[in-house]
Structures are given as structure tokens and as C-alpha cells.
Amino acid sequence: MHATISSASAPKHPSAPGIEEGRVEPGGFERILGSERGVAYGRFLEWSVGEGFVLAVVELRRPAQREALAKATSAAVAKLCTARLDSLGDRSLRALLEEACPSPEETSVLMLTHLEESQDAARICAELNVHRDELARRFALPWVLLVHPAAALALQRDAPDFCDFAGLWLPEEPGDGAEPLLEQAIRVLATSGVSPHHLSPDATPPTDLLSLAREAAALGHVDQAADLLAQYDMKHPGERAHDVRRVYMDGLLLRVRGRFAEAIARFDEALELCEMSGDPHMRGVLLDEIAQVYVLQGDLAAARHLERDALELFEQSGDRRRRAASLHQLSVIEGRLGHDVKARELEEKSLQLSEELGDQVGRTISLHHLAVIEGDHAKARELLHELLVNSDKLGDRNIRLASLRKLAALATNDGNYAEARELLRKSLELSEEMESAVYRSVVLRDLATVACLEGNYAEAMAASRESLKLSEEFGMKDDQAALLLMLGLLEADQGQIERSVALVREGVDILEELDAANLVEAKELLHRLESFSVADMPNGSQQRG
């Protein structure tokens, strides 16, 4: 449908004004557009000026490229008129063009820009399509439309008849797009801190209501845990304010429901009761719970400090079950901080304890994490399937959901997006069964990642925005940062560079506050994105988009 001018093409009228000799720097178009596109664009101007209506569409992703090409074109032809399509307002497109180009017969080239930034893009495309003949007669001179690739697709979809007029269509060069940035952003984003906190089974199964409630919550059955607590309160009125284990259970349910500030407040109350009763083991349990909240919120340094204190208390009390769980939690934290050697060392200790305790699930969780550290995806996948079987036997929703998400991550890494989607669909259903908005948030983020890689950017945008809203509500800062980066890169793909830079910069600021392990990579992303709006120009000058 769209022809590119080749070296075999020749002008119909060699006497046409075209490019005025000496007005454009040699190689100027090539520096902006690349060698082939630059030569083709130069020939279009040389052979089309003075020949009546003819259309060239040039796809440019970077605003700086657009401004540079407009400047170079203005220097090359006798008179350039430019119409910014984002300034349409209530006018018709024809009225805008009349204002920008009142004397077409005295104009060399009519340039149209900023379609991707116009709030009236759909109306503009419709007018171009319906009134193409009328506009071509009224403005019978060469048209150059500088357009972002995303807007070019919309133009082809919504104004196909107008696009048929194109004598030259220069698509963006391979490798010039934002997709590599999106893929890099996805690699930069840390995996979510939502991970099952498994305790080896107690040698003596619990029978008291508080222990049963804690076990139900640990398996992801929050409603059942709440019912058991209600039964306990009926039998023990007044204990809710004075029994450290009862106060702890309030905090635990608040944590599971994503009410993190309230959860920490209750855990702090329980810590005060521990100080009065002199119960160091219970203090360790509470520190471990607060550490889990900090992991979810992305404050890994604070979480590590608290988890180390908890581990020391579990070692002093001889609680091997909690030691194994605490060692695994520390291993996960160290891994997310980028300390793989330390993470491996801690996980191996947790594995040894799980084997001594005869805890098959704890052993599998440790082996899976070690496989992840080693990059052995095949082994990791095998162990996750084993965890799924065990989670069904135990009725452990937390382990099941975590395993489904991690299998989806492996499928995504392998490019098996359909498989990843199915696994995440099951994860989302499970999060709804559990009535867990926290889990819903992280699964939506996973779905946004898959949609990004598939090129379904509208879906990715919607899922990211919902997930961002939830993560902000829960104070999950590392997830906020991840989603801001993703949304920023999605905006860049739609040509909204200024908005994109603002979102990514906000994400980088959060990662800086957290002193995150991926801060350097995120800053590199921001730097690359900023280069989309500030590009080096000939003679060291710069143009801003």
C-alpha cells in the first residue's frame, strides 16, 4: 500500500524547486533518520516540491527526532508550514490547516506533527479519511506527517483511505523502538515479596482454639481463622487486650488482609506484653511477623535486621521449626538484595533443619529456592509441581498460589505466554477465593508483565494501574516502583515521553529511598528514556521534545 522511494525513482519535473542547494547540511537527514530513510526522505523533498499533493509519513519514536527533522526540513525547503495536531481544540482539521497554511500556493511543504499527543486523534483520523480529496485539493502541495509508531498504527486503522495516498511511508528502523526498554524494565523489576512462610508441622497437632486459628491463617483460610478466634473470645472474654497470643492473632489477620499499619500497631502492643511477661520466644515470633510486613513493603534492610533478631531468639529457645522458617526468610531477603552467596548459605541451613525435622514441604521449598539461586529452571519447575501436589494435600492456599505464580514466571521467561496466562488465571481465582487484595495486586502485576511481552499494551496498562492503586493502598513500595517503571515505559511506547519520564523518575525515587538492589538498572532505564526527549544534534546543539 505504501511505496518507499528507491534509487531507481526519478522526478517527473526536474525543474521543480525541491531542496535548495546549500540550505541543508550534507548527511543531515541521514543523521536523524538513518542512512536509508534519510536518503529516501531527501529525495521525496527534492522531487515532490512543486508537484501538487503528495503524502509522506515518517514514523519517529523520539520527540527530539521529530523536532530535529522539522528543523532540518525547514532549512532545506523554501517555505515550510507546520500544523500541530495537538492544538486542534474545537476547530475542524481544515480550519487548523487554513490557519497554519493560509497560502498553500506560496508554501513548499505542509508538515503535520503531534498526532500522538492530541486528545482529538480519533477525530483527526476520521476527518482525514472522510475529507481526504477535499483537503488534497485545497492544500495541493507535499504533506509530511511526522508520527509516533503507535499513532501510525491508529492512522492505518482509522484512516485507511487517507493512508492510500501515501507516496512515501518510512516506518521506524528495526531496534529503534521502546520494546527493548520494556523488556529491560521487566527484567529490572524485583519479584514480589509475597512468599509463603511455611512452618514445619508440630510434633503434637494443635488442639486449642488460638493454635488452630493460627494454623488456619497460615494455610490461607482467613475466614476459618476468624471464626475460631470468635469462639475463643466467647470462651475467654477480656483476653483480647491482655493475652499476648490473642493480640498476636489480631495482628496476624490484619497482616494477611493487607492492613499493614494496623497489623504493626497490634504487633507492637503484643511486644509490650512480652516485655512485661518476659517471653523471649514470643518476642521472636512477633519480630518475624513484623519482618514479613517490611518485606511486603519493600523495606528489606529493616526486615533483615528484625529477622536476624528473631532467628537469634529462636536459636536461644531451641525452636528448630521457627529457625528453619526464619533461615528461609532471611535467604529470600538476601537474595532480593542481590547477595546470592549469603542466600545460598542460609537456605542450605534451612534445608538441613527441614530434613532433620522430616518436613517434606519445607525441604522442597528450600530446594526450590536453591534451584532459583543456581538458575536451574528445570529443577525449579519440577519442585514447584511437587509443591502444588503437597499444597493440595495440606489445603495450603498460600503455597499453592505462590507455586502457581512462580510457575507462571518460569513460563513467561521461556516465552510460553499462553501457559503463563492460564497459571495466572488460576492464581487470580485463588486470590478471590481467599479474598486477598494483596495477592490480587501481585497477580495483576504478573499479568501486566505477560501482556507487555505479548504486545497487548492496553491490557498491560489497565492491569498495571489497578495493581498500582492496590500497592499504594498497602504501602508495598517496591511493587509501586516496579509498576511505575512499567507504566512509564508503556506511556513511552504510546509517544507520551514527558509523562513517561515523570512516572519512571517517581519509581526510581522510591527505589532510591529503599536502597534497592535494582536501583542502578532502574537509573539506567531512566537515563535511556530521558535520551528519548533530549538528543544530541549536529554541532553539539540539542533539541527538546
Q: What is the pLDDT of residue 177?
A: 46
Q: Kindly tell me if the per-residue pLDDT of 172 is higher than 90.
A: no
Asked if 112 and 146 count as a contact pair (C-beta separation under 8 A), the reply is yes
Q: What is the pLDDT of residue 497?
A: 80
Q: Kindly tell me if the per-residue pLDDT of 442 is higher than 90.
A: yes
| 200 vs 361 pLDDT, higher one | 361
User: What are the grid coordinates assigned to 317, written together?
Assistant: 529457645
How confident is the model over 298-325, as pLDDT tens digits?
899 999 999 999 999 999 999 999 999 9
Task: Summarize the confidence of residues 259-265 as an average pLDDT.
Answer: 95
Q: Kindly tell me if the per-residue pLDDT of 186 is higher than 50.
A: yes
Q: Would you place residue 201 in the very low, low, confident or very high pLDDT band (cuts 50, 70, 90)?
A: low
Q: Would you place residue 185 in the very low, low, confident or very high pLDDT band (cuts 50, 70, 90)?
A: low
Average pLDDT over the chain, rounded to an integer: 86
Q: Would you place residue 414 in the very low, low, confident or very high pLDDT band (cuts 50, 70, 90)?
A: confident
Q: How many CA atoms lie within 13 A of 532 on its CB side?
A: 26
Asked if 30 and 68 count as a contact pair (C-beta separation under 8 A), the reply is no
Task: Summarize the confidence of residues 38-65 as an average pLDDT.
Answer: 89
Q: How many percent of the chain have pLDDT more than 90?
A: 61
Q: Kindly tell me if the per-residue pLDDT of 426 is higher than 90.
A: yes
Return the DSSP state at 373: H
Task: Summarize the confidence of residues 76-83 as an average pLDDT.
Answer: 93
> pTM of the prediction?
0.69
Task: Summarize the confidence of residues 418-432 as an average pLDDT.
Answer: 96
Domains and CATH numbers, the chain: 28-177 (3.40.50), 179-192+435-545 (1.25.40.10)
Q: Kindly tell me if the per-residue pLDDT of 533 is higher than 90.
A: no
Q: Kindly tell me if the per-residue pLDDT of 181 is higher than 60.
A: no
Residue 168: strand pairing partners: 56
3-state SS, one letter per residue, for 415-459: CCHHHHHHHHHHHHHHHHHCCCHHHHHHHHHHHHHHHHHHCCHHH
Q: Kindly tell me if the per-residue pLDDT of 121 is higher than 50.
A: yes
Torsion of CA 41, 43, 45, 47, to 10 degrees: -150
Q: Kindly tell me if the per-residue pLDDT of 436 is higher than 60.
A: yes
Q: Would you place residue 81 in the very low, low, confident or very high pLDDT band (cuts 50, 70, 90)?
A: very high
**Percent helix / strand / coil, the chain, rounded to 5:** 70, 5, 25
Task: Summarize the confidence of residues 210-220 as an average pLDDT.
Answer: 91
Q: What would you report as the CA-atom Rg of the chain, rounded to the nearest whole angstrom?
A: 31
Say how many C-beta atoms besides its own lie within 10 A of residue 439's C-beta.
27
Q: Kindly tell me if the per-residue pLDDT of 270 is higher than 90.
A: yes
Q: What is the pLDDT of residue 517?
A: 74
User: What are the grid coordinates assigned to 134, written together?
Assistant: 477535499
How confident is the model over 478-520, as pLDDT tens digits?
899 989 999 998 888 777 888 889 999 999 999 889 888 778 7
Q: Would you place residue 529 in the very low, low, confident or very high pLDDT band (cuts 50, 70, 90)?
A: confident
Task: Summarize the confidence of residues 37-50 as an average pLDDT.
Answer: 92
Q: What is the pLDDT of residue 16?
A: 38
Q: What is the pLDDT of residue 23?
A: 55
Task: Give the C-alpha separation, 365 to 347, whole Å.
Answer: 9
Task: Give the C-alpha separation, 403 to 405, whole Å.
Answer: 5
Q: What is the pLDDT of residue 528?
A: 77
Q: What is the pLDDT of residue 535?
A: 43
Least confident range of 140-154, 185-199, 206-220, 441-455: 185-199
Contacts of 495 (CB under 8 A, 6+ apart): 61, 63, 116, 117, 148, 149, 150, 151
Q: What is the pLDDT of residue 443?
A: 95
Least confident range of 82-96, 101-115, 195-209, 210-224: 195-209
Q: Report residue 423: phi and psi, to 5°.
A: -65, -40
Q: What is the pLDDT of residue 238?
A: 81
